[in-house]
Structure 1
């Protein structure tokens, strides 16, 4: 049986939201990012599977749809509260224990670089209970192992309802491997994220 999908605020003490998406993710991310309020103090990090060799226009694409500043993550850059970061194309994005990003060009995971698993597994070690991981639409199993690690270390996990996703393969794989604290459609997820505010650090 799926966890309750009623609208409720994200977990208390939240400092990091990590979002993974693939096929169908451009539209889904637009809905999710639009919901984030200007008062959100958590850092938001996004991995969207992109074709290698092409520059990312994601910060520009979502600029008018998101109230928070958006940027592409840079190597050795400290994570800033209330900012949305996107993984650059053809690099794995990692979160280091010192609160900085690092980029690598190690082998693709599920044919993808950046990898959702790499982000989630490294971020889970750095943020533990202060982290929320979100898996959206996609056509691979990337993110399932990372989500399991997030939950193992005390973080929270939301997964898009596979039956209502543009491509349900990735959220279904995440649920099968890791389970979830909440299974939501996009309107429910947006409504819950809209409740974020100045209390995340409390």
Structure 2
């Protein structure tokens, strides 16, 4: 099975280049000021210039306003908008307005949480299953938390989907084997400190996703 890979939260030329060199199919650019991985629009424009057209540029947003999305679309030349804490109606409106593919994040802790995926049919192009963070957490993801992959057993996915949450070079192969995910997403699992990506961990993660 061919697995596609998103390295998320990249913020330096060296880490962008490492992800590309080792075969990442998608690069995630975070536009959320509370995150240690947040990019300013000028910084995003400089980094995006390094990404070839065959690699997907994914903008990551948390309950964004229209102006932020528009500025990020231009600076990041985004192909995909990954939306956290956004309702299906809002996702559908953003999709219609931007004509971009929408990945809707669904936070998972229990089997019942998966039901939210069905509400995004017609509003999103892909579901990103991520680990649910504590209620008082400042960030909706990127905290190294994972959910119980067995929750996905026999679940009838209403849309194409991706696996996120707590993945790293040591467990991603097992995660792929267990869930049959065809797209995996990593952020904190390839960092040496919050927001600081490690080129060796990026290389190891991408190697581990290959058959």
Bigger Cα Rg: 2
Using the size of structure 1 for normalisation, the TM-score is 0.38
Identify the structure with bigger relative contact order (alpha carbons < 8 Å, sequence gap 6+).
Answer: 1
For normalisation by structure 2, the TM-score amounts to 0.37
